[in-house]
């Protein structure tokens, strides 16, 4: 018996492929039919839209066309501009590493810095910055700033000795040495609710004083007597990254404040410590566009703040608001056993500075401008 292999016919080999091919053909036909229906629907939609436009009043169509042209022009104009980007307090932390710092404190080395410049060309520089801002944005709401810059020399020289801001005076702001808590109610209440958080981070920092005279990050300020230390998180509008990393919760709190000045050279946030026997010499702040907020962390007896000749005492867990463009001083006459007086200090916008003015002032007095 001879074995002969079974040969598969041509039709047998094609048989398995017939079913998938049939399915593919059927699916293609269904898709083409659906597409045909879609085209019919699209054609009907376009026809309906054209008929609607024909039925519309010509004046309405012209108005819509004008609005569309204006919108396209606006998009082109805005996209063509390259406005200055403003960093928030949080964003400043990323860029400040490259700036010169000594013991956590930013020292300005720029001869053109408006915060540190006292010369006849300052007004021209401020006016140039205002013109640049108005060119990019608008003159709307700039009347008071324009008036202040134009007559800045007269304002600073003719101010009564009780209030003489050293750099910039904004006219027509209500003037008083102290402000009520309602002036910036949201931020005051937020700071007071976080009193324990800020106090705990300060106590952790202050332990380093037992090991050396001036730990990293602290700055010693000159005083007629005693010792005055400050630990800056934000100094003249610039974040101090190393210090912020050591007080992470307090630093995050700054980002939640609605009126914290964080984008111009008049903004600061720090922990301020007065040792017993310290007297701070009378001095003026740089501007009246801000109010300074002190949150009491440790407040021994015989400690006072005097602003415009009016004395006030701090209280633990409570905020004290004042205008530091008034002549002011502070002292701690308590005993060494009572320990230091400690406050958390943050600069807030004056409540009567409008939002448009704040944006312009941030641009004019931006750090390094």
- Specify if 140 maps to a domain: no
* 366 within a domain of the structure (yes/no): no
pLDDT score recorded for residue 98: 42
Count of structural domains within the chain: 1
Crossing angle of helices 355-364 and 122-136, rounded to 10°? 120
User: Are the CB atoms for 253 and 190 separated by under 8 Å?
Assistant: yes
Q: Which range of residues forms the domain containing residue 311?
A: 181-208+215-354
Query: Rounded to whole angstroms, how far apart are CA atoms 327 and 166?
Result: 11
Count CB neighbours of 329 within 10 A.
15
- Indicate the helix (H) or strand (E) that contains 278: strand 278-283
User: Residue 68: inside a domain, yes or no?
Assistant: no
pTM for the structure as a whole: 0.70
The pair of structure tokens assigned to 100 is 């010169």
8 A C-beta contact, residue 336 and residue 233: no
Of 137, 119, 90, 109, which Cα lies nearest the Cα of 364?
137
Helix or strand or coil: residue 225?
strand
- 69 located within any domain: no
CATH code for the domain in which residue 241 is found: 2.60.120.330
Question: Nearest 5°: CA angle at 366, between 369 and 158?
Answer: 90
Assess contact for 353 and 174: CB atoms under 8 A. Answer: no
Mean pLDDT by 10 residues, the chain (369 residues): 46 44 52 58 69 67 80 66 40 41 42 51 84 92 92 78 91 94 96 97 88 83 93 95 96 96 95 96 95 97 95 97 96 93 98 96 91
Q: Which two tokens stand for residue 72?
A: 């396209």
pLDDT at 214: 83
Predicted pLDDT of residue 106: 41
How many residues does this entry show for the chain?
A: 369
* 327 in any annotated domain: yes
Q: Whole-angstrom Cα distance, residue 114 to residue 128? A: 12
Residue carrying structure tokens 């701090």: 314
Cβ atoms of residues 314 and 192 within 8 Å: no
- Identify which of 294, 283, 292 has the alpha carbon closest to the alpha carbon of residue 329: 283
What pLDDT does residue 16 have?
45
Q: List Cα–Cα distances, 210 to 22, 130, 139, 204, 213, in angstroms.
A: 89, 49, 55, 12, 8
Is residue 148 a contact partner of residue 129, using CB atoms and an 8 Å limit?
no
Query: Residue 266: inside a domain, yes or no?
Result: yes
Q: Which residues contact 359 (CB under 8 A, 6 or more apart)?
A: 86, 137
- Whether residue 188 is contained in a domain is answered as yes
CA distance 203 to 31: 73
Confidence at residue 86, expressed as pLDDT on a 0 to 100 scale: 36
Q: Which H or E run contains 329?
A: strand 328-332
Q: Are 316 and 188 in contact (CB under 8 A)?
A: no
Q: Looking at the domain assignment, is residue 226 inside a domain?
A: yes
Identify which of 205, 204, 198 has the alpha carbon closest to the alpha carbon of residue 219. 205
Q: Which residues on neighbouring strands pair with residue 253, listed in sequence order?
A: none
Beta bridge partners of 346: 269, 293
Question: Does residue 313 contact residue 334 with C-beta atoms inside 8 Å?
Answer: no
For tokens 């324009």, name the residue: 146
């Amino acid at each position: 018996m001879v074995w002969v292999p079974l040969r598969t016919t041509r039709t047998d080999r094609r048989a398995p492929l017939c079913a998938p091919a049939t399915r593919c053909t059927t699916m293609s036909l269904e898709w083409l039919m659906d597409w045909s229906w879609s085209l019919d629907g699209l054609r009907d939609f376009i026809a309906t839209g054209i008929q609607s436009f024909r039925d519309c009043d010509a004046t309405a169509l012209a108005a819509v066309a004008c609005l569309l042209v204006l919108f396209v022009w606006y998009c082109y104009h805005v996209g063509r501009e390259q406005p200055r980007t403003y960093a928030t307090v949080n964003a400043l932390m990323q860029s400040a590493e490259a700036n010169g710092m000594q013991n956590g404190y930013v020292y300005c080395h720029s001869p053109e810095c408006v915060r540190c410049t006292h010369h006849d060309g300052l007004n021209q520089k401020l006016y140039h910055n205002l013109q640049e801002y108005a060119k990019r944005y608008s003159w709307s709401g700039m009347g008071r700033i324009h008036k202040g810059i134009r007559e800045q020399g007269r304002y600073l020289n003719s101010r009564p000795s009780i209030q003489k801001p050293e750099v910039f005076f904004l006219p027509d702001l209500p003037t008083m040495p102290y402000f009520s808590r309602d002036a910036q109610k949201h931020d005051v209440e937020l700071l007071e609710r976080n009193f324990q958080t800020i106090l705990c981070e300060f106590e952790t920092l202050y332990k380093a004083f037992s090991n050396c005279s001036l730990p990293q990050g602290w700055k010693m300020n000159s005083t007629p007597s005693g010792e005055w230390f400050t630990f800056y998180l934000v100094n003249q509008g610039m974040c101090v990254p190393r210090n912020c990393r050591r007080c992470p919760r307090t630093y995050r709190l700054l980002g939640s404040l609605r009126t914290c000045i964080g984008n111009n050279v008049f903004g600061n946030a720090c922990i301020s410590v007065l040792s017993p026997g310290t007297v701070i010499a009378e001095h003026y702040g740089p501007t009246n566009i801000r109010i300074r907020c002190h949150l009491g962390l440790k407040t021994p007896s015989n400690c006072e703040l005097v602003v415009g000749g009016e004395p006030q005492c701090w209280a633990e867990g409570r905020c004290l608001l004042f205008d530091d463009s008034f002549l002011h001083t502070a002292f701690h006459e308590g005993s060494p056993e009572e320990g230091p007086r400690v406050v958390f200090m943050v600069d807030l916008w004056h409540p009567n500075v409008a939002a448009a003015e704040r944006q312009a002032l941030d641009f004019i007095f931006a750090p390094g401008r």
